[in-house]
């Protein structure tokens, strides 16, 4: 191998190493496709399991939103514009599916009585570091839609939409949604952030 070829190979290896290390650090994320996911959770019940997951959206706000690590601090941008705060409001859509047991799953599990899977309540908070503070709901509050309704209680599968006031909230904060059963037992806690 001649001297020029050796230099080219080393230069290519250096560039490849530099580019890959940017992704290994974990701070840079590809642009979002308009929504942020709440990772799924499985709640074990006496007769099966309840699968809980969801999304966080706000019109087209999250479309193309990018996060970059700048020396341990995150910087958010969209279409070349630097963003620091969430929009005026966000909608957390929490989805409940019945009988979604995955025996070998490493997803968090909790065992509860079956009566908890018909009525849910929610506690919504913003998380900065390890500090939690209550989130304010918009006047529309919480609205749940099930596959069919027996009286006033929707049945599974069901999606509950929670509209949260978010104006002035830093994009680095996480939205935490705690889900409670009919007896007040916390079923799970979901977290999402860009």
pLDDT tens by residue, 25-35: 445 666 667 88
Query: In which band, very low, low, confident or very high, does the pLDDT at 1 lie, cut at 50, 70 and 90?
Result: low
- Average pLDDT taken over every residue of the chain: 78
What total of structural domains would you count in the chain?
2
Structural contact between residues 172 and 43, judged by C-beta atoms closer than 8 angstroms? no
- Asked whether residue 10 falls in the same domain as residue 73, the answer is no
- Asked whether residue 37 falls in the same domain as residue 80, the answer is yes
- Asked whether residue 37 falls in the same domain as residue 111, the answer is yes
Strand blocks (E) in 32-71: 35-45, 48-57, 66-70
Q: Which token pair is 99?
A: 């009988």
Percent of the chain past pLDDT 70, that is, above it, reads 67
- Asked whether residue 91 falls in the same domain as residue 181, the answer is yes
- Asked whether residue 112 falls in the same domain as residue 133, the answer is yes
| pLDDT at residue 151 greater than cutoff 60 | no
**Higher per-residue pLDDT: 22 or 94:** 94
- Asked whether residue 80 falls in the same domain as residue 147, the answer is yes
- Asked whether residue 168 falls in the same domain as residue 111, the answer is yes
Taking residues 118-147, what's their average pLDDT?
A: 89
- Asked whether residue 35 falls in the same domain as residue 107, the answer is yes
Binning the chain into helix, strand and coil, the percentages to the nearest 5 are: 15, 55, 35
- Asked whether residue 15 falls in the same domain as residue 67, the answer is no
Taking residues 108-128, what's their average pLDDT?
A: 68
Structural domain boundaries enclosing 110: 31-192
- Asked whether residue 47 falls in the same domain as residue 108, the answer is yes
- Asked whether residue 106 falls in the same domain as residue 123, the answer is yes
Strand order in the sheet with 111-112: 111-112, 35-45, 48-57, 89-98, 158-165, 137-146
- Asked whether residue 2 falls in the same domain as residue 51, the answer is no
| pLDDT at residue 184 greater than cutoff 90 | no
Per-residue pLDDT, 101: 67
CA distance 68 to 71: 9
């Amino acid at each position: 191998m001649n001297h020029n070829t050796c230099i080219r190979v080393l230069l290519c290896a250096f560039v490849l190493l530099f580019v890959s290390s940017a992704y290994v650090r974990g701070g840079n994320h590809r642009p979002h496709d308009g929504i942020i996911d709440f990772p799924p959770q499985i709640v074990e019940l006496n007769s099966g399991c309840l699968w809980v997951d969801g999304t966080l959206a706000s019109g087209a706000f999250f479309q193309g939103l990018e996060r970059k690590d700048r020396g341990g601090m995150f910087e958010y941008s969209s279409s070349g514009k630097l963003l620091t705060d969430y929009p005026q409001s966000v909608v957390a859509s929490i989805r409940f599916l019945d009988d979604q047991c995955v025996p070998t799953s490493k997803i968090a599990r909790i065992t509860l009585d079956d009566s908890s899977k018909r009525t849910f309540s929610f506690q919504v908070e913003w998380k900065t570091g390890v500090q939690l503070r209550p989130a304010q709901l918009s006047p529309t509050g919480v609205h749940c839609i099930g596959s069919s309704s027996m009286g006033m209680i929707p049945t599974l599968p069901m999606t509950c939409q929670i509209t949260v006031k978010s104006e002035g909230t830093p994009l680095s904060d996480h939205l935490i949604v705690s889900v409670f059963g009919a007896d007040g037992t916390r079923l799970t806690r979901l977290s999402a952030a860009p």
